[in-house]
Amino acid sequence: MAQVDRPVGTIYCGGGTPSLFSPESFEKILSHPALSRAPEVTLEVNPGAIERYSFADYRKAGITRASIGVQSFNSKQLVNLGRIHSVNDAETAISEALESGLEEVNIDLMYGLPQQTPEQALEDLRKAVALGPSHISWYQLTIEPKTVFARQPPVLPTLDIRADIDETGREFLQSKQYQRYEISAYAKDGKVSNHNINYWRFGDYLGIGAGAHGKYKIGTKTIRTEHRRQPRLYMTDGQPIRKTVPKEELPAEFMMNVLRLKNGVENERFLSSTGLPFRIIATKIKELRDWELIQTNKLSLTEYGYKHIDSIVEKFLPN
């Protein structure tokens, strides 16, 4: 795997419940020469599966950042979402993470939950902010295919209510010095997720483990990888399935990521990230700028454009 020769800038241990791994296991993994110098190492945590080990032990093993999947501080909503943890579990996990000496702590929260009101969504944010994390990821519930919600759709807030929740919550977070740097990400004191920024800037990343996805550029080709989802098959044959992204799909994939960032990217990044000349999207970009949806000096949405990101990205899909 030639792409491993590139330096590793960030590591994200995710996929559900990596906190079931012992700190000793992470210490062994992170001692590898290719990984030992990564300045940001995130551990994704389910509050209901952290009681076996302490955050302080994970910090000593090399973890620098925790991302805690709270989703809601409302007990009924946790049941609706099928979460195995309680509100108390979540609050305890966050407090212990903050007291452990980890450099950064993120809380994942959802809004637009079944029958949720704007006040209930705001109460989730109030509780999150009161605990004092450096980062809050606040995103809208989406119904994924082949899930319980897809088979039995819940009653969700209307589009108008969800828009009201989004606006009210955004204003509240900013009033508490959490700066929005991506559509669903807010950081205090500049403590952003560098791993996610690389992803949104259409950077390269390796996916390692059952079901993991990766993306990297070799020459003018963009390669996506996907490992087998079943652990047994992954252990038998650890080689991922590789697919070259067709050139006609690259503009939409690139824009779908970079336009999520509040500050966007420079025009020149389109060429360096995709291998394609900027001129192939120049006409569409000019049109969007004329409509005041994209900033004039870089690939970054205006405040008005941010509200219409999905329809803007659709314009870059192949005909």
Q: Are 103 and 65 in contact (CB under 8 A)?
A: yes
- pLDDT tens column, 58-71: 999 999 999 999 99
- What is the tally of structural domains in the chain? 2
Question: Would you state the pLDDT for residue 1?
Answer: 39
**206 within a domain of the structure (yes/no):** no
State the CATH number of the domain containing residue 302: 1.10.10
Residues 11 and 115 in one domain: yes
Q: What is the pTM of this model?
A: 0.92
Q: Are 315 and 291 in contact (CB under 8 A)?
A: no
Residues 166 and 269 in one domain: no
**243 within a domain of the structure (yes/no):** no
**10 within a domain of the structure (yes/no):** yes
6 SS3 class: coil
Domain coverage including residue 126 = 2-198
- pLDDT tens column, 151-197: 778 889 999 999 999 999 999 999 999 999 999 999 999 999 999 99
Residues 166 and 300 in one domain: no
**118 within a domain of the structure (yes/no):** yes
Q: Are 70 and 83 in contact (CB under 8 A)?
A: no
Residues 253 and 189 in one domain: no
Question: Would you state the pLDDT for residue 237?
Answer: 81
More confident residue, 50 or 197: 197
Mean pLDDT of 131-139: 97
**279 within a domain of the structure (yes/no):** yes
Proportion of the chain above pLDDT 90, given as a percent? 79
Residues 178 and 274 in one domain: no
Distance from C-alpha of 227 to C-alpha of 210, rounded to nearest angstrom: 6
Question: Would you state the pLDDT for residue 144?
Answer: 77
Which two three-digit tokens encode residue 128? 């999150």
Residues 267 and 175 in one domain: no
**254 within a domain of the structure (yes/no):** yes
Domain boundary among 179, 198, 217: 198
**38 within a domain of the structure (yes/no):** yes
More confident residue, 290 or 7: 290
Residues 172 and 319 in one domain: no
Closest CA to 111 of 83, 90, 129, 138: 138
**215 within a domain of the structure (yes/no):** no
